[in-house]
Protein backbone atom coordinates (compact mmCIF):
# COMPACT_ATOMS: atom_id res chain seq x y z
CA UNK A 1 0.00 0.00 0.00
CA UNK A 2 1.30 3.45 -0.92
CA UNK A 3 0.64 6.17 1.60
CA UNK A 4 -0.06 9.56 0.08
CA UNK A 5 2.44 12.04 1.49
CA UNK A 6 2.09 15.79 1.74
CA UNK A 7 3.81 16.49 -1.57
CA UNK A 8 1.57 13.99 -3.37
CA UNK A 9 -1.53 15.48 -1.80
CA UNK A 10 -0.31 18.90 -2.89
CA UNK A 11 0.04 17.68 -6.48
CA UNK A 12 -3.46 16.26 -6.44
CA UNK A 13 -5.02 19.46 -5.13
CA UNK A 14 -3.08 21.55 -7.64
CA UNK A 15 -4.23 19.38 -10.53
CA UNK A 16 -7.82 19.40 -9.35
CA UNK A 17 -7.79 23.16 -9.09
CA UNK A 18 -6.11 23.50 -12.47
CA UNK A 19 -3.54 25.94 -11.06
CA UNK A 20 -0.58 26.71 -13.30
CA UNK A 21 2.56 26.97 -11.20
CA UNK A 22 4.98 27.29 -14.08
CA UNK A 23 3.40 28.69 -17.21
CA UNK A 24 6.37 29.88 -19.31
CA UNK A 25 8.44 26.80 -20.11
CA UNK A 26 11.70 28.74 -20.12
CA UNK A 27 11.09 29.89 -16.57
CA UNK A 28 10.40 26.44 -15.08
CA UNK A 29 12.69 25.05 -12.42
CA UNK A 30 16.04 23.56 -13.38
CA UNK A 31 16.93 19.91 -13.14
CA UNK A 32 20.43 18.49 -12.74
CA UNK A 33 20.94 19.38 -16.39
CA UNK A 34 19.69 22.94 -15.88
CA UNK A 35 16.91 24.84 -17.57
CA UNK A 36 17.01 25.96 -21.17
CA UNK A 37 18.31 29.42 -20.37
CA UNK A 38 21.19 28.33 -18.14
CA UNK A 39 22.23 25.58 -20.54
CA UNK A 40 22.38 28.02 -23.42
CA UNK A 41 24.47 30.49 -21.44
CA UNK A 42 26.79 27.90 -19.97
CA UNK A 43 27.96 26.31 -23.23
CA UNK A 44 29.44 27.94 -26.31
CA UNK A 45 31.11 26.29 -29.27
CA UNK A 46 29.39 22.99 -28.49
CA UNK A 47 30.89 19.75 -29.76
CA UNK A 48 30.62 16.02 -29.03
CA UNK A 49 31.96 16.54 -25.50
CA UNK A 50 28.80 18.53 -24.79
CA UNK A 51 26.57 15.51 -25.51
CA UNK A 52 25.10 13.83 -22.45
CA UNK A 53 25.08 10.07 -23.05
CA UNK A 54 22.92 7.64 -21.11
CA UNK A 55 21.24 4.32 -21.70
CA UNK A 56 17.85 2.87 -22.56
CA UNK A 57 15.84 -0.21 -21.70
CA UNK A 58 15.28 -2.06 -18.45
CA UNK A 59 18.09 -4.49 -19.03
CA UNK A 60 17.91 -8.27 -19.27
CA UNK A 61 21.44 -9.27 -18.28
CA UNK A 62 21.66 -12.52 -16.29
CA UNK A 63 23.03 -12.88 -12.79
CA UNK A 64 23.07 -10.16 -10.19
CA UNK A 65 22.77 -7.17 -12.52
CA UNK A 66 19.27 -7.46 -14.03
CA UNK A 67 19.10 -3.75 -14.85
CA UNK A 68 22.68 -3.30 -16.17
CA UNK A 69 23.36 -0.87 -13.31
CA UNK A 70 26.96 -2.05 -12.82
CA UNK A 71 27.60 -1.73 -16.54
CA UNK A 72 26.15 1.79 -16.57
CA UNK A 73 28.28 2.74 -13.57
CA UNK A 74 31.34 1.45 -15.41
CA UNK A 75 30.55 3.72 -18.33
CA UNK A 76 29.76 6.81 -16.26
CA UNK A 77 33.07 6.40 -14.37
CA UNK A 78 34.98 6.03 -17.65
CA UNK A 79 33.29 8.96 -19.39
CA UNK A 80 35.67 11.90 -19.86
CA UNK A 81 32.82 14.38 -19.38
CA UNK A 82 29.45 14.36 -17.62
CA UNK A 83 27.49 17.32 -19.06
CA UNK A 84 24.38 16.96 -16.93
CA UNK A 85 22.48 14.29 -15.04
CA UNK A 86 23.06 10.56 -15.29
CA UNK A 87 20.29 9.86 -17.79
CA UNK A 88 18.50 6.61 -18.54
CA UNK A 89 15.35 5.51 -20.30
CA UNK A 90 12.47 3.17 -19.43
CA UNK A 91 9.51 2.11 -21.61
CA UNK A 92 6.38 1.54 -19.52
CA UNK A 93 2.75 0.66 -20.05
CA UNK A 94 0.64 3.81 -20.02
CA UNK A 95 -1.54 2.47 -17.17
CA UNK A 96 1.27 1.47 -14.78
CA UNK A 97 0.28 4.10 -12.21
CA UNK A 98 -3.24 2.64 -12.07
CA UNK A 99 -2.03 -0.86 -11.19
CA UNK A 100 -1.78 -2.11 -7.57
CA UNK A 101 1.55 -1.71 -5.83
CA UNK A 102 3.79 -4.73 -6.46
CA UNK A 103 1.68 -5.91 -9.41
CA UNK A 104 3.25 -8.57 -11.61
CA UNK A 105 6.56 -10.42 -11.48
CA UNK A 106 9.82 -8.60 -10.76
CA UNK A 107 11.47 -10.51 -13.63
CA UNK A 108 8.91 -9.11 -16.09
CA UNK A 109 10.27 -5.80 -17.40
CA UNK A 110 6.74 -4.64 -18.26
CA UNK A 111 5.43 -5.06 -14.70
CA UNK A 112 4.95 -2.52 -11.95
CA UNK A 113 6.91 -4.76 -9.56
CA UNK A 114 9.90 -4.57 -11.92
CA UNK A 115 9.70 -0.79 -12.15
CA UNK A 116 9.36 -0.41 -8.37
CA UNK A 117 12.48 -2.55 -7.91
CA UNK A 118 14.28 -0.44 -10.51
CA UNK A 119 13.36 2.77 -8.68
CA UNK A 120 14.42 1.58 -5.24
CA UNK A 121 17.55 -0.41 -6.12
CA UNK A 122 20.46 1.34 -4.31
CA UNK A 123 22.84 0.56 -7.18
CA UNK A 124 20.73 2.52 -9.69
CA UNK A 125 23.11 5.23 -11.01
CA UNK A 126 20.41 7.23 -12.83
CA UNK A 127 19.37 10.68 -11.66
CA UNK A 128 17.10 11.73 -14.56
CA UNK A 129 14.83 8.89 -15.67
CA UNK A 130 13.15 9.34 -19.06
CA UNK A 131 9.83 7.48 -19.18
CA UNK A 132 8.20 6.71 -22.53
CA UNK A 133 4.68 5.32 -22.39
CA UNK A 134 3.28 2.75 -24.79
CA UNK A 135 0.91 -0.21 -24.86
CA UNK A 136 2.70 -3.08 -23.15
CA UNK A 137 2.04 -5.95 -20.78
CA UNK A 138 -1.68 -6.37 -20.16
CA UNK A 139 -2.46 -3.26 -22.25
CA UNK A 140 -0.61 -4.48 -25.36
CA UNK A 141 -2.68 -3.46 -28.36
CA UNK A 142 -4.78 -1.03 -26.32
CA UNK A 143 -4.49 2.77 -26.35
CA UNK A 144 -6.30 5.12 -23.98
CA UNK A 145 -9.68 5.82 -25.56
CA UNK A 146 -10.00 9.30 -24.08
CA UNK A 147 -7.64 12.23 -23.67
CA UNK A 148 -9.01 14.17 -20.71
CA UNK A 149 -8.78 13.45 -17.03
CA UNK A 150 -12.27 12.48 -15.89
CA UNK A 151 -13.02 11.31 -12.36
CA UNK A 152 -13.00 7.53 -12.27
CA UNK A 153 -11.89 7.15 -15.90
CA UNK A 154 -9.48 4.21 -15.93
CA UNK A 155 -9.00 4.37 -19.68
CA UNK A 156 -8.02 8.05 -19.97
CA UNK A 157 -4.46 9.06 -20.68
CA UNK A 158 -4.70 12.04 -18.33
CA UNK A 159 -5.89 9.87 -15.44
CA UNK A 160 -3.06 7.40 -15.99
CA UNK A 161 -0.35 10.06 -16.31
CA UNK A 162 -1.62 11.87 -13.22
CA UNK A 163 -1.58 8.57 -11.32
CA UNK A 164 2.01 7.94 -12.40
CA UNK A 165 3.10 11.29 -10.96
CA UNK A 166 1.22 10.62 -7.74
CA UNK A 167 2.53 7.09 -7.32
CA UNK A 168 6.17 7.43 -8.30
CA UNK A 169 7.49 11.01 -8.25
CA UNK A 170 7.94 11.34 -4.49
CA UNK A 171 9.42 7.84 -4.25
CA UNK A 172 11.98 8.69 -6.95
CA UNK A 173 12.78 12.10 -5.45
CA UNK A 174 13.34 10.64 -1.99
CA UNK A 175 15.49 7.73 -3.14
CA UNK A 176 18.42 10.09 -3.81
CA UNK A 177 18.83 13.89 -3.83
CA UNK A 178 18.03 15.67 -7.09
CA UNK A 179 16.33 12.83 -8.91
CA UNK A 180 13.75 13.84 -11.53
CA UNK A 181 11.58 12.30 -14.22
CA UNK A 182 11.50 13.31 -17.86
CA UNK A 183 8.87 11.99 -20.28
CA UNK A 184 7.86 11.38 -23.82
CA UNK A 185 4.09 11.01 -23.82
CA UNK A 186 4.10 8.05 -26.23
CA UNK A 187 6.94 5.96 -27.62
CA UNK A 188 7.21 6.01 -31.43
CA UNK A 189 3.59 7.03 -32.03
CA UNK A 190 4.11 6.66 -35.80
CA UNK A 191 5.30 3.03 -35.43
CA UNK A 192 2.50 0.54 -34.81
CA UNK A 193 4.81 -2.42 -34.12
CA UNK A 194 5.14 -4.08 -30.69
CA UNK A 195 8.56 -2.48 -30.21
CA UNK A 196 7.09 0.89 -31.24
CA UNK A 197 3.85 2.14 -29.76
CA UNK A 198 2.54 -1.38 -29.10
CA UNK A 199 -0.94 -0.67 -30.48
CA UNK A 200 -0.76 -2.43 -33.83
CA UNK A 201 -1.15 0.68 -35.95
CA UNK A 202 0.31 4.16 -36.06
CA UNK A 203 -1.32 6.78 -33.90
CA UNK A 204 -2.65 9.85 -35.63
CA UNK A 205 -0.76 13.10 -35.18
CA UNK A 206 -3.85 14.54 -33.45
CA UNK A 207 -4.07 11.73 -30.90
CA UNK A 208 -0.32 11.99 -30.25
CA UNK A 209 -0.59 15.75 -29.92
CA UNK A 210 -3.33 15.34 -27.31
CA UNK A 211 -1.20 12.93 -25.28
CA UNK A 212 1.75 15.32 -25.42
CA UNK A 213 -0.23 18.43 -24.43
CA UNK A 214 -1.90 16.59 -21.55
CA UNK A 215 1.49 15.39 -20.24
CA UNK A 216 2.93 18.90 -20.56
CA UNK A 217 -0.10 20.37 -18.77
CA UNK A 218 0.21 17.89 -15.90
CA UNK A 219 3.95 18.45 -15.51
CA UNK A 220 3.36 22.21 -15.34
CA UNK A 221 0.54 21.92 -12.78
CA UNK A 222 2.17 19.13 -10.77
CA UNK A 223 5.22 21.02 -9.42
CA UNK A 224 7.29 17.87 -10.00
CA UNK A 225 9.98 19.55 -12.13
CA UNK A 226 9.43 17.11 -14.99
CA UNK A 227 10.30 17.77 -18.61
CA UNK A 228 8.19 16.44 -21.50
CA UNK A 229 9.72 15.98 -24.96
CA UNK A 230 7.44 16.17 -27.98
CA UNK A 231 7.54 13.82 -30.96
CA UNK A 232 9.62 10.70 -30.21
CA UNK A 233 9.13 9.53 -33.80
CA UNK A 234 10.56 6.38 -35.36
CA UNK A 235 12.51 6.83 -38.61
CA UNK A 236 12.97 3.29 -39.94
CA UNK A 237 12.12 2.68 -43.59
CA UNK A 238 9.22 4.73 -44.89
CA UNK A 239 8.58 6.21 -41.44
CA UNK A 240 11.19 8.82 -42.28
CA UNK A 241 8.47 10.33 -44.48
CA UNK A 242 6.70 11.36 -41.26
CA UNK A 243 9.56 13.78 -40.51
CA UNK A 244 9.30 15.78 -43.71
CA UNK A 245 8.33 19.45 -43.64
CA UNK A 246 5.76 19.92 -46.39
CA UNK A 247 3.97 22.91 -44.89
CA UNK A 248 5.24 26.19 -43.49
CA UNK A 249 7.45 25.65 -40.45
CA UNK A 250 5.65 28.26 -38.38
CA UNK A 251 2.22 26.68 -39.01
CA UNK A 252 -0.47 28.95 -40.38
CA UNK A 253 -4.17 28.77 -39.62
CA UNK A 254 -4.85 26.25 -42.37
CA UNK A 255 -2.91 22.99 -42.66
CA UNK A 256 -1.53 22.50 -46.16
CA UNK A 257 -2.99 19.70 -48.29
CA UNK A 258 0.25 17.71 -48.47
CA UNK A 259 0.94 17.86 -44.70
CA UNK A 260 3.23 15.21 -43.25
CA UNK A 261 2.63 13.55 -39.87
CA UNK A 262 5.01 16.04 -38.23
CA UNK A 263 3.36 19.01 -39.96
CA UNK A 264 -0.03 17.91 -38.60
CA UNK A 265 1.39 17.27 -35.12
CA UNK A 266 2.96 20.73 -34.95
CA UNK A 267 -0.22 22.32 -36.23
CA UNK A 268 -2.28 20.63 -33.52
CA UNK A 269 0.13 21.74 -30.77
CA UNK A 270 0.25 25.31 -32.07
CA UNK A 271 -3.54 25.64 -32.29
CA UNK A 272 -4.70 23.64 -29.25
CA UNK A 273 -2.17 24.28 -26.48
CA UNK A 274 -4.49 26.84 -24.90
CA UNK A 275 -7.55 24.55 -24.96
CA UNK A 276 -9.29 24.18 -21.56
CA UNK A 277 -8.01 20.61 -21.30
CA UNK A 278 -4.37 21.71 -21.52
CA UNK A 279 -4.28 25.32 -20.25
CA UNK A 280 -0.86 26.15 -21.73
CA UNK A 281 0.19 29.69 -22.50
CA UNK A 282 -0.56 31.50 -25.75
CA UNK A 283 2.19 30.89 -28.29
CA UNK A 284 3.37 27.75 -26.50
CA UNK A 285 6.06 25.72 -28.23
CA UNK A 286 7.72 22.56 -26.85
CA UNK A 287 11.03 23.12 -25.10
CA UNK A 288 12.19 19.59 -25.89
CA UNK A 289 11.82 17.25 -28.86
CA UNK A 290 12.70 13.56 -29.12
CA UNK A 291 13.42 11.32 -32.10
CA UNK A 292 14.99 7.98 -33.05
CA UNK A 293 17.45 8.27 -35.97
CA UNK A 294 17.88 4.53 -36.56
CA UNK A 295 17.44 4.88 -40.30
CA UNK A 296 20.53 6.98 -40.95
CA UNK A 297 22.72 4.99 -38.55
CA UNK A 298 21.61 1.70 -40.11
CA UNK A 299 22.29 3.15 -43.57
CA UNK A 300 25.76 4.16 -42.44
CA UNK A 301 26.87 0.87 -40.84
CA UNK A 302 25.27 -1.25 -43.59
CA UNK A 303 25.96 0.75 -46.74
CA UNK A 304 28.36 3.53 -45.71
CA UNK A 305 25.69 6.11 -46.63
CA UNK A 306 26.11 9.44 -44.86
CA UNK A 307 23.40 11.91 -43.90
CA UNK A 308 23.00 14.16 -46.93
CA UNK A 309 19.34 15.16 -47.30
CA UNK A 310 15.96 15.20 -45.55
CA UNK A 311 14.63 12.24 -47.54
CA UNK A 312 16.95 9.72 -45.88
CA UNK A 313 18.21 11.51 -42.78
CA UNK A 314 15.79 12.04 -39.87
CA UNK A 315 18.20 14.41 -38.13
CA UNK A 316 18.29 16.77 -41.09
CA UNK A 317 14.55 16.52 -41.65
CA UNK A 318 13.76 17.22 -37.99
CA UNK A 319 16.09 20.21 -37.86
CA UNK A 320 14.53 21.55 -41.04
CA UNK A 321 11.03 21.23 -39.59
CA UNK A 322 11.92 22.73 -36.21
CA UNK A 323 12.88 26.17 -37.47
CA UNK A 324 11.16 29.50 -36.91
CA UNK A 325 9.17 29.64 -33.68
CA UNK A 326 10.16 26.04 -32.90
CA UNK A 327 13.90 26.69 -33.01
CA UNK A 328 14.58 27.28 -29.29
CA UNK A 329 13.92 23.66 -28.32
CA UNK A 330 16.57 21.17 -27.26
CA UNK A 331 16.58 17.86 -29.12
CA UNK A 332 17.07 14.44 -27.51
CA UNK A 333 18.04 11.31 -29.43
CA UNK A 334 16.06 8.99 -27.18
CA UNK A 335 16.80 5.64 -28.81
CA UNK A 336 19.82 4.71 -30.87
CA UNK A 337 22.60 2.16 -31.08
CA UNK A 338 25.24 0.91 -33.44
CA UNK A 339 23.83 -2.39 -34.68
CA UNK A 340 20.04 -2.57 -34.55
CA UNK A 341 19.31 -5.62 -36.67
CA UNK A 342 22.42 -7.73 -36.17
CA UNK A 343 25.59 -7.81 -34.09
CA UNK A 344 28.43 -5.90 -35.74
CA UNK A 345 32.15 -6.56 -35.63
CA UNK A 346 34.09 -4.23 -33.35
CA UNK A 347 35.40 -1.94 -36.06
CA UNK A 348 32.03 -1.46 -37.79
CA UNK A 349 30.25 -0.92 -34.50
CA UNK A 350 32.83 1.61 -33.29
CA UNK A 351 32.65 3.51 -36.57
CA UNK A 352 28.84 3.59 -36.22
CA UNK A 353 29.08 4.88 -32.64
CA UNK A 354 31.50 7.60 -33.74
CA UNK A 355 29.14 8.55 -36.56
CA UNK A 356 26.29 8.96 -34.06
CA UNK A 357 28.41 11.50 -32.18
CA UNK A 358 29.68 13.22 -35.33
CA UNK A 359 26.20 13.57 -36.77
CA UNK A 360 24.74 14.82 -33.48
CA UNK A 361 27.40 17.47 -32.97
CA UNK A 362 28.26 18.66 -36.48
CA UNK A 363 24.80 19.34 -37.93
CA UNK A 364 23.50 21.35 -34.99
CA UNK A 365 24.17 22.60 -31.48
CA UNK A 366 20.61 21.68 -30.43
CA UNK A 367 21.10 17.98 -29.66
CA UNK A 368 21.80 17.67 -25.93
CA UNK A 369 21.10 14.06 -25.01
CA UNK A 370 21.76 10.64 -26.57
CA UNK A 371 20.18 7.55 -25.05
CA UNK A 372 22.23 4.62 -26.32
CA UNK A 373 20.07 1.50 -26.34
CA UNK A 374 22.08 -0.75 -24.03
CA UNK A 375 25.42 -1.48 -22.41
CA UNK A 376 25.83 -5.26 -22.18
CA UNK A 377 22.82 -6.73 -23.97
CA UNK A 378 21.51 -6.57 -27.53
CA UNK A 379 23.35 -6.31 -30.86
CA UNK A 380 24.46 -2.78 -29.92
CA UNK A 381 26.21 -3.86 -26.69
CA UNK A 382 29.42 -2.02 -25.87
CA UNK A 383 30.59 -4.39 -23.11
CA UNK A 384 31.32 -8.12 -23.48
CA UNK A 385 31.30 -9.16 -19.85
CA UNK A 386 34.22 -7.25 -18.35
CA UNK A 387 35.69 -6.49 -21.78
CA UNK A 388 35.18 -2.98 -23.12
CA UNK A 389 34.60 -2.95 -26.85
CA UNK A 390 36.11 -0.11 -28.95
CA UNK A 391 32.65 1.48 -29.15
CA UNK A 392 32.64 1.80 -25.35
CA UNK A 393 35.69 4.08 -25.58
CA UNK A 394 34.29 5.95 -28.57
CA UNK A 395 31.23 6.92 -26.53
CA UNK A 396 33.03 7.47 -23.23
CA UNK A 397 35.66 9.68 -24.86
CA UNK A 398 33.17 11.35 -27.25
CA UNK A 399 35.18 10.42 -30.34
CA UNK A 400 33.73 11.41 -33.71
CA UNK A 401 35.89 9.08 -35.78
CA UNK A 402 37.40 5.62 -35.39
CA UNK A 403 40.23 4.04 -37.38
CA UNK A 404 41.08 0.96 -35.30
CA UNK A 405 41.22 -2.48 -36.86
CA UNK A 406 39.56 -4.88 -34.40
CA UNK A 407 37.19 -7.19 -36.22
CA UNK A 408 35.86 -9.69 -33.64
CA UNK A 409 32.29 -9.65 -32.34
CA UNK A 410 30.73 -10.06 -28.92
CA UNK A 411 29.79 -13.71 -28.28
CB-based contacts of 74, cutoff 8 Å, min separation 6: 375, 383, 388
Residue 212 lies in a domain: yes
pLDDT in tens, 233-243: 999 989 999 99
Nearest to 315 by CA among 307, 306, 327, 324: 307
d(CA 6, CA 272) in angstroms, rounded, equals 33
pLDDT (tens digit per residue) in 31-62: 334 433 323 222 334 699 999 999 987 655 44
Is 143 a domain residue? yes
Number of CB atoms found within 10 A of residue 147's CB = 18
Work out whether the CA dihedral 258, 260, 264, 270 comes out positive or negative. negative
Residue 30 falls within a domain, yes or no?
A: no
pTM for the full model?
0.88
In this predicted structure, what is the pLDDT of residue 210?
95
Give me the pLDDT at residue 357, please: 97
Residue 250 belongs to some domain of the structure = yes
Query: By residue range, what is the domain housing residue 58?
Result: 6-20+46-396
The whole-number pLDDT of residue 26 equals 28
Kindly compute the dihedral angle of the four CA atoms of residues 399, 402, 408, 411, in this order, to the nearest 10 degrees.
20
* pLDDT at res. 142: 84
pLDDT at 42: 29
pLDDT at 64: 55
pLDDT in tens, 353-366: 999 999 999 999 99
- How would you write the pLDDT of the chain (411 residues) with one tens digit per residue? 322 233 333 333 333 333 322 222 222 333 334 433 323 222 334 699 999 999 987 655 445 567 899 999 999 999 999 999 999 999 999 999 999 999 999 988 889 999 999 999 999 999 999 999 998 888 888 888 777 666 668 889 999 999 999 999 999 999 888 899 999 999 999 998 888 888 999 999 999 999 999 999 999 998 777 999 999 999 998 999 999 999 988 877 889 999 999 999 999 999 999 999 999 999 999 999 999 999 999 999 999 999 999 999 999 999 999 999 999 999 999 999 999 888 899 999 999 999 999 999 999 999 999 999 989 888 999 998 889 999 999 999 999 999 987 777 776
As a whole number of angstroms, the distance between CA 51 and CA 361 comes to 8
Tally: H helices and E strands in the chain: 11, 10
Contact 130, 35 (CB under 8 A): no
Assigned domain for 314 exists = yes
Tens digit of pLDDT for each residue in 127-177?
Answer: 999 999 998 888 888 888 777 666 668 889 999 999 999 999 999 999 888
Whichever domain contains 293, its CATH number is 3.20.20.80
The Cα-based distances of 291 to 5, 170, 242, 326, 330 in angstroms read 35, 28, 11, 15, 11
Number of domains in the chain: 1
Amino acid sequence: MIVEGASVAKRRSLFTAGALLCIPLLACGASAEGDLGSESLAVSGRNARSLNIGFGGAGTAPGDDPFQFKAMQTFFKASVVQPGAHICHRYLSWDIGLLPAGDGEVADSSSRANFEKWLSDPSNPCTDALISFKSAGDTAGVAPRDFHDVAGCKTCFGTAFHAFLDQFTTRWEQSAPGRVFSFTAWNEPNNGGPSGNGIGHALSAITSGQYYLMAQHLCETDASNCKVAAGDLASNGTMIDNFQQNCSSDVGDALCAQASWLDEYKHFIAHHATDPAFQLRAGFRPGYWAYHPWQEINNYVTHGDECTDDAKCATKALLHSLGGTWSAAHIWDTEIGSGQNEALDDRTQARGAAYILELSSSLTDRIWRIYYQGVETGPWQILCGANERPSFHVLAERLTSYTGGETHTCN
